[in-house]
Structure 1
């Protein structure tokens, strides 16, 4: 992700070499970089600017010792990047952490707004409506940041926003069923429609964040998807 966006690139690498005083720390002049960092680094420029040659090692850091022991030769499996279920699952906390702070900031606002209007007093309305809204937002997070990564290869479509929209729609359907909105009343119908639309939309937005964790997205493709999906 960093290499694709240019934040891990030639200039940054040279800057870090100088800032760390690497020339005074080691006697050799060779760097082993992760294979997936190659798109952002021009090896010949690094050599010219810093004096360090660049070798592209294995994809996984755990394979570096074997790569060195093999005379800086990577086996075929070291060059293959999988993206299995468990590899996607371990990235879910990254997505949850990113959304946790704004979610915690939104929850008090939901309770405050939930207390306005309604047939009961402010505090009763606040507890009932605020709790429902909080659960709806949490449902959207589950759809976009949990279900979408787990079901990524199985959800139809190429765009992450489309995948997140589908996961969010399933979550929304379950949510409105469990919430038991009184669709006989106008307010109940409005709540029903609001969450049926908002939960998939939020889920789709959060799913696009997973593009930075995936192994097959490109910067141009992500930009194109965002420009189409956000409006």
Structure 2
């Protein structure tokens, strides 16, 4: 018998049709990303990635060079009362996968899609491809716990963390504005770029300006993602 708590690993496949889900085994808790830092366009690996709160995060991932698999760390900075996906924007090959890994705090990953508006009210405006199915993870709160998605369809996918921090711990859902802000309100949003999608906002809703009812910090982050996405895909040498 062991005192170790097994880490759950959720595996989803995001395609233009349905989402298939399954429960896999355990991970060893050594999946937190680390490496060199990146600049605001994610086209080099030797500068800082500033998330808008004055924090720099280290990782080894370049936009414009899609990979088969990327780990995204889910982090809480208690000293600053901020929350982050690291890296904020990743670039996958078609059929590639993202594994979200709990580094600290409790978090989830929820796609901006009307089907998720009960958890994420600003998701009433879709920010993933029109034919793609949305996803939502469970609340992950154990260090090393993971949630994994495979993205089959080229496109741009935006997502956020819906968690609210109460005195007794993290919970999913919306807290009273100004009292218990959600992690989205602190700017915990992320993006997955798959393949080499068309940069026309009519084809990729994520490239549209975020809605006015979205929290300011999240809206600012997504606008920055749009600049970085266009720069990386226009300058990329992989297509």
TM-score w.r.t. the length of structure 1 is 0.25
Greater fraction of residues in strand? 2
Bigger relative CO (Cα 8 Å, ≥ 6 apart): 2
Greater fraction of residues in helix? 1
Max Rg structure: 1
